[in-house]
Chains A and B, each alone.
Chain A
Amino acid sequence: MTLRERGNRIARVGTVVTALALLGLAGVYVRAIVYTPVEAAQGAAQKIFYVHVPSAWAGLMAFVITGLLSILYLWLKDRRLDLAAAASAEVGVAFSAIILTTGPIWGKPIWGTWWTWDARLTSTLFLFLLFVGYIVLRGVLTDPGIRGRFSAVIGIMALFLVPFIHLTVYLFRTLHPAPIVLKPSRPSLPGDMLTTLMLSVGVFTVLYTGLLMLRYALGLLREAREEELADAS
């Protein structure tokens, strides 16, 4: 199968998966808004939880997968691994944008401030910035071999950075605890809410997969185009 054929096929499958995920998302919306009870202490804003947490899960998954694929690429040198890593990185950036916007919108009514330097938001912020840099770097490197190797280096280092940022924030928090306005109840979620959350996590996982396939297909098609241009000249 040529690169172009494979790209087209994955694009088709990816479109279907993404469409299904979007339908699922609509379903989650309905379930969260209409069929899930409102939390007494926090009000309707608590329901942001049902899109914020699954996005965090998807974003983390995206960046971890980029890191793992980067290691595999350096080991096996298959260019498709590089294309897949880059695809996961870009999808991760999209989910990070969701986390970084819904986080403050949730934070304002619940914690009293738009931004709190907690572990998840802070890690997401720096990972977001780092992977924007990753995408910019890929943009300025023209040789595919160099681009692949250098991206892989960033991807792998990012993997190791995450625990350190978490540790930094944890230490910072224990020394400078933030004033809490409303403490969101974390440990036990009543059945309905847990189900909605789990459904949402499932939908976001499918969404990640669909978007990943589409972005990967784009990478394959671009490479196919470059090959065709090179052959023609």
Chain B
Amino acid sequence: MGSTLRAAWHIAVKDLAIEWRTKTAFASGLVFAVLVLAVLFFSRDPTTVSATDIAPGAMWVTFTFASMLGLNRAFLIERELRALDGILLTPAPRAAIYWGKFVANLAFVGAIEAISLPLFVLFYDVPIWRRLGELILVIAMATIAFVAVGTLLSAMVVRTRYAELMLPLLLLPFLVPPLVAGVQATAPLLDGRPLSDVSGWLKLIAGFDVAFVTLAALLFEVVLDE
């Protein structure tokens, strides 16, 4: 158990270090998020649709697509450097590779969300302060869902020629429960309602997280076997 954690940590740190040195994926993810937020803001009739009405949807669509960009990058690095073979040669337990990637992806996506969120508040003028903590909790839980499944799927599609197309194609059906739950939970929270009002959605995301983090971790080995 200890060696798995240590190996996972090393893998996560390595991934994040590589990403930090190039910063390409991070920068593109951020620019992308800003663009999506802006486009969604302007693609409506302001006299009939208020910014607060579309705000939850806009925020979540932005997070989802920025996440997918980040997830693709994670394994592209490996493929370019054929580094995965190297990792597989080490005595690191297979499970550690999943957890390491999972943590690195979570950090990456989390960073993009952390920077997009203030921009979102700025553009859409939403009163986020009333329920900020609760909102962050919902975002965190849904992000765990995205990254859990996304890490597994990106490992699979990276070896295909159409990785950028295959990842969204396969991933989006799995994102429907956490995404819908996220949007539906966000709207009341932005309205100032308490967390107990959205407990149903929270339980759904929590159940999804438990089921799919476990499943993805178990199935990851299958994907790595050479």
Q: Which residues of A contact B (CB under 8 A)?
A: 74, 126-127, 129-130, 133-134, 136-137, 140-141, 146, 149-150, 152-154, 156-157, 160-161, 164-165, 167-168, 171-172, 175
B83 within 8 A of A: no
Which one of A130, A150, A160 contacts B156 once the chains associate, using CB atoms below 8 Å? A150
Cα separation A165 to B176 with both chains bound (whole Å): 7
- Neighbouring A residues of B181 by C-beta, 8 Å: 168, 171
Cα separation A127 to B160 with both chains bound (whole Å): 22
Q: Which residues of B contact A (CB under 8 A)?
A: 149, 152, 156-157, 159-162, 166, 169-170, 172-174, 176-177, 180-181, 184, 200-201, 204, 207-208, 211-212, 215-216, 219, 222-223, 225
Cα separation A141 to B166 with both chains bound (whole Å): 12
List 20 additional A-B contacts (Cβ < 8 Å) besides A150-B156, A168-B204. Answer: A133-B166, A133-B173, A134-B170, A136-B169, A152-B222, A154-B170, A157-B149, A157-B216, A160-B215, A161-B174, A164-B177, A164-B207, A164-B208, A165-B176, A165-B177, A167-B204, A171-B181, A171-B200, A171-B204, A172-B180
Q: Is the CB of B200 within 8 A of A141?
A: no
Closest 6 CB pairs of A and B: A130-B173, A164-B177, A126-B173, A133-B169, A133-B170, A168-B177
- Neighbouring A residues of B166 by C-beta, 8 Å: 133, 136-137, 140
Q: Is the CB of B225 within 8 A of A149?
A: yes
Q: Is the CB of B176 within 8 A of A168?
A: yes
Given A140-B166, A168-B176; A153-B222 close (CB under 8 Å)? yes
Q: Is the CB of A160 within 8 A of B219?
A: no
- Neighbouring B residues of A150 by C-beta, 8 Å: 156, 223
Q: How far is the CB of A15 from chain B (nearest CB, A)?
A: 33
Which one of B157, B219, B225 contacts A157 once the chains associate, using CB atoms below 8 Å? B219
Q: Is the CB of B201 within 8 A of A161?
A: no
Q: Is the CB of B162 within 8 A of A164?
A: no
Q: Is the CB of A140 within 8 A of B219?
A: no
Q: How far is the CB of B14 from chain A (nearest CB, A)?
A: 25
Q: Is the CB of B170 within 8 A of A164?
A: no
Q: Is the CB of A130 within 8 A of B177?
A: no
Cα separation A97 to B172 with both chains bound (whole Å): 19
Cα separation A129 to B176 with both chains bound (whole Å): 12
26 A-B residue pairs with Cβ-Cβ distance under 8 Å, sorted by A, are A74-B222, A126-B173, A126-B176, A129-B169, A130-B173, A130-B174, A136-B169, A149-B223, A150-B156, A153-B219, A153-B223, A156-B219, A157-B174, A157-B212, A157-B219, A160-B212, A161-B173, A161-B174, A161-B177, A168-B181, A168-B204, A171-B184, A171-B200, A172-B180, A172-B184, A175-B184
Q: How far is the CB of B164 from chain A (nearest CB, A)?
A: 13
- Neighbouring B residues of A141 by C-beta, 8 Å: 159-160
Given A133-B170, A164-B177; A171-B201 close (CB under 8 Å)? yes
- Neighbouring B residues of A157 by C-beta, 8 Å: 149, 174, 212, 215-216, 219
- Neighbouring A residues of B223 by C-beta, 8 Å: 149-150, 153
- Neighbouring B residues of A126 by C-beta, 8 Å: 173, 176
Which interface residue of B159, B176, B180 has the most chain A CB atoms within 10 A? B176
